[in-house]
Structure 1
Amino acid sequence: MADLLRLLLRVAEKAANVARVCRQEALLFQLLVQEKTGKDKNKKFVQDFKTLADVVIQEMIRHDVGTQFDEMIGFIHGEESNKFENGLGESVTVTVCVTEEETAALLATVLDGDHMAASLLARAIHQDPVAITDISTETLNMPLSPTDLGIWIDPIDATSQYIEGREEVLVEGHLSPSGLQCALVLIGVYHRATGEPVMGVINQPFHHKDSTGGWKGQHFWGVSYGSFKACSVDRPKDGTKESTGRGGISVVLSSSEKQAVKEALTPLCGLDRLMYASGAGYKILCVIQGLADIYVLSEGSTFKWDSCAPHALLRALGGGMVDLAECLRSSSGERGHQEELTYHRPLTESPGADRWANQGGLVAYLDSKLLQRVILELKGKF
């Protein structure tokens, strides 16, 4: 498991490098977007874009993990189709080849013969990043084998923020409502038999700029299986609040959240602690970091690739992520653990990407007592 975690940290940093390379060429970037259509389109957005960066990152992760752990091939899933249409209307299947030169040649067919751009991307794909050293990964000794596990990849979560590319000023101790900071690489590992998330890696490629004006990122990881829990993030000291009394809970929502949900939570939070941010993965990361106590989403507009990685970190810190609809149907908010999201079974009656939707909405939390309070406030309100 330590070997797998180290590999996922490495490929997540490679993914971050690809994402940064793709943003460095403004003219090229305009050519790298292609609107999703049909069953692959996320109904939440008027325009949901697939970028070549998304596809390249996903296939790079699939290639690198499959090369080192061939027993996981066939259980490495991603958000994107690896079919991409170039400017000539030709459909190209994007894969990572054995050599950098072969990958560059393939990418050139997607980029309408732009060999310079293809070479830049291929170099980012095949070049190992600066070694990520985290000595605590050496202690990961869990009774799991790669044959027990599957992977969900979200190559760039909050793609719309990535495409728009706003450079917001990061205020220490506060979440970023929008901008490049909300774009994340998410790699989640789940148990094939039970569907529980057991490992997660989050990479934030655009965390801050260095003295030269280049973007620098940061990464997070967590492991949770049985009684074993380990995380690169300390549990927030202010993350657990008293379960009695009113107010004091901070909740992060999507700006498009139902008005009934906002109104139901306002008495619990007050207007100043009801916050909004972009990207499902980023909103869950805000809970992990203690920038918000709870994330609530009432619609089924997120998917397994959005939630698997950060869910593993929440579990490693003693929290979790539940199906909101199931919690609201339960007779008591105390049964939250029974509604934890799982990652191994599709919704067979749903088409396309919706087969892997978190259909009942979700609530991400660190403190189960705060979860109970939020569920009780929401019951019967929408």
Structure 2
Amino acid sequence: MVAMAELLRLLLRVSEKAANVARVCRREAPLFELLIQEKTGDDKNKKFVQDFKTLADVVIQEMIKHDVVAQFPEMKGFIHGEESNKFENGLGESVTVTLCGTEEETAALLATVLDGDAAAAALLARAVHQDLQVEDEAARSLELPLNPSDLGIWIDPIDATSQYIEGREDEAPQGELCPSGLPCALVLIGAYLRVSGEPVIGVINQPFAHRDASGQGWTGRHFWGVSINGTINASSLPRPPVRSAASADGDGELRAVLSSGEKQAVKDALGPLCGGGLVYVSGAGYKILCVILGLADLYVLSEGSTFKWDSCAPHAILRALGGGVADLAECLRGGAPAELAYHQPRAGRKGAERWANHGGIVAYLDSTRLARVIGALSGKI
């Protein structure tokens, strides 16, 4: 139990280190120009014409792996991420990126990726070796009846990478969602049970949550949730109140977040339920965060274009708040909501596609509203 409490605190610390790396890279425009490399082959997300990985993604992912295994060696081999840690520099040389024992060694390795740019490499190395602390009293006092050897971890080092690369500096007013821009870029770290695939710990860090006091930079915020066997639920967030747009008896308009490229049949089916409450938002993780924060009732995606690393962390937080993330196709076949699991790849697929949520997803806080949406979509898609 002590170990599990330490694991949650460690995941919070590494999420803050990750957020700091993301901010450092955005601040240094010449450095950021060097960080983009197009994904190819089996690692490419089929949804996008161009889908980029950045050195920031890879460095963050490897830093999290390194720090977790250093404290919990029994988790080695069970920490998975979105990115390959192979990077190609301007000379066409393939470099395997890892976190070394010292800041100087990591800087030397990163310099080979950055075409000998020692200053940029030193900046990145300093960020990933920095010891950042996160003050969270609720996490500090929590005890969990799990062993690290029972768990695996999914990492999305920077979800909504396209928003991160584009870098629009939109900031949503307090209590409102942000349709696009840097606030949609999140660090997602989720832990699941190796035997069942049940998501049990979720940490979300939003590196670009608010502009800092100077107006020149950004400050972040973090969220976490723990849900074990439906009996132990704890979160940094209270369950959000029922949105006033829907009445207590379940009538009234819902608010659903969708991808802008969602099928027209889905939009048409949800239109009567949502009225003006269909909202188009960037980033899979951020869409689920909108549900977690009560800014939307549901997130619906009919295509298999999200992955385990997108959904594991926010799924655990939603479970802690009484909601979930279900397989949309399974829900439409009838029966109880089929919650996503995270431990088994899909047979017959290669690369990233092995870990896609192929049936689409629906994220929800309230099961009665989920039922209304499933009813509206049934027979329509």
The normalised TM-score by structure 1 is: 0.96
Q: 1:248 aligns with which of 253, 257, 266?
A: 253
CA apart distance, 1:239: 4.8
Looking at structure 2, the residues matched to 262 and 180 of structure 1 have their Cα atoms a distance apart, in angstroms, of 26
Task: Answer yes or no: is 1:363 the counterpart of 2:356.
Answer: no
Task: Answer yes or no: is 1:259 the counterpart of 2:259.
Answer: no
1:1-48 alpha-carbon deviations (Å, 9 max, x no partner): 110010000000000011011111112211110000111110111110
Q: 1:14 aligns with which of 17, 25, 30?
A: 17
Counterpart AA for 2:211: K
Counterpart AA for 1:63: H
3-state DSSP of counterpart to 2:98: coil
Alignment of 1:78-93 (within 5 A): 78-93=81-96
CA apart distance, 1:209: 1.1
Looking at structure 2, the residues matched to 31 and 301 of structure 1 have their Cα atoms a distance apart, in angstroms, of 27
Contact 1:239 1:366 in 2 (8 A): no
Task: Answer yes or no: is 1:169 the counterpart of 2:179.
Answer: no
CA apart distance, 1:243: 6.6
Counterpart AA for 1:350: R
3-state DSSP of counterpart to 1:132: coil
Task: Answer yes or no: is 1:72 the counterpart of 2:90.
Answer: no
Q: 2:51 aligns with which of 24, 41, 48?
A: 48
Q: 1:218 aligns with which of 197, 218, 221?
A: 221
Counterpart of 1:340? 339
Farther off after superposition, 79-88 or 168-177: 168-177
Counterpart of 2:237? 233
Counterpart of 2:297? 293
Contact 2:202 2:226 in 1 (8 A): yes
Q: 1:303 aligns with which of 297, 307, 310?
A: 307
Contact 1:243 1:373 in 2 (8 A): no
3-state DSSP of counterpart to 1:6: helix
Counterpart of 1:374? 373
Looking at structure 2, the residues matched to 142 and 13 of structure 1 have their Cα atoms a distance apart, in angstroms, of 22
Looking at structure 2, the residues matched to 132 and 34 of structure 1 have their Cα atoms a distance apart, in angstroms, of 32
Counterpart AA for 1:297: L
Gaps of 5+ in 2: none
3-state DSSP of counterpart to 1:173: coil
Looking at structure 1, the residues matched to 95 and 23 of structure 2 have their Cα atoms a distance apart, in angstroms, of 23
Looking at structure 2, the residues matched to 161 and 196 of structure 1 have their Cα atoms a distance apart, in angstroms, of 29
Change (3 A) 1:113 1:284: same
Looking at structure 1, the residues matched to 21 and 144 of structure 2 have their Cα atoms a distance apart, in angstroms, of 32
Task: Answer yes or no: is 1:111 the counterpart of 2:114.
Answer: yes
Contact 2:8 2:139 in 1 (8 A): yes
CA apart distance, 1:349: 1.0
Looking at structure 2, the residues matched to 82 and 168 of structure 1 have their Cα atoms a distance apart, in angstroms, of 31
Contact 2:189 2:312 in 1 (8 A): yes
Counterpart AA for 1:45: F
1:145-195 alpha-carbon deviations (Å, 9 max, x no partner): 000000000000000000000011311221111000000000000000010
Looking at structure 2, the residues matched to 83 and 203 of structure 1 have their Cα atoms a distance apart, in angstroms, of 25
Looking at structure 1, the residues matched to 130 and 181 of structure 2 have their Cα atoms a distance apart, in angstroms, of 27
Gaps of 5+ in 1: none
Change (3 A) 1:245 1:81: closer
CA apart distance, 1:87: 0.4
Contact 2:171 2:183 in 1 (8 A): no
Contact 2:250 2:369 in 1 (8 A): no
Contact 1:188 1:197 in 2 (8 A): yes
Looking at structure 2, the residues matched to 343 and 377 of structure 1 have their Cα atoms a distance apart, in angstroms, of 28
Contact 2:205 2:223 in 1 (8 A): yes
Change (3 A) 1:245 1:191: closer
Looking at structure 2, the residues matched to 239 and 314 of structure 1 have their Cα atoms a distance apart, in angstroms, of 16
Counterpart of 1:352? 351
Counterpart AA for 1:194: S
Counterpart AA for 1:107: L
Looking at structure 2, the residues matched to 140 and 194 of structure 1 have their Cα atoms a distance apart, in angstroms, of 23
Task: Answer yes or no: is 1:33 the counterpart of 2:48.
Answer: no
Farther off after superposition, 25-34 or 191-200: 25-34
1:53-77 alpha-carbon deviations (Å, 9 max, x no partner): 0000000000000000000000000
Counterpart AA for 1:154: D
Counterpart AA for 1:319: G
3-state DSSP of counterpart to 1:201: strand
1:267-325 alpha-carbon deviations (Å, 9 max, x no partner): 0010x211010000000000000000000000000000000000000000000010000
CA apart distance, 1:142: 2.3
CA apart distance, 1:132: 1.1
Q: 2:126 aligns with which of 100, 123, 127?
A: 123
Looking at structure 1, the residues matched to 210 and 83 of structure 2 have their Cα atoms a distance apart, in angstroms, of 27
Identical residues among aligned pairs (%): 72
CA apart distance, 1:141: 2.1
Counterpart of 1:152? 154
Counterpart AA for 2:204: I
- The Cα RMSD (Å) is 1.1
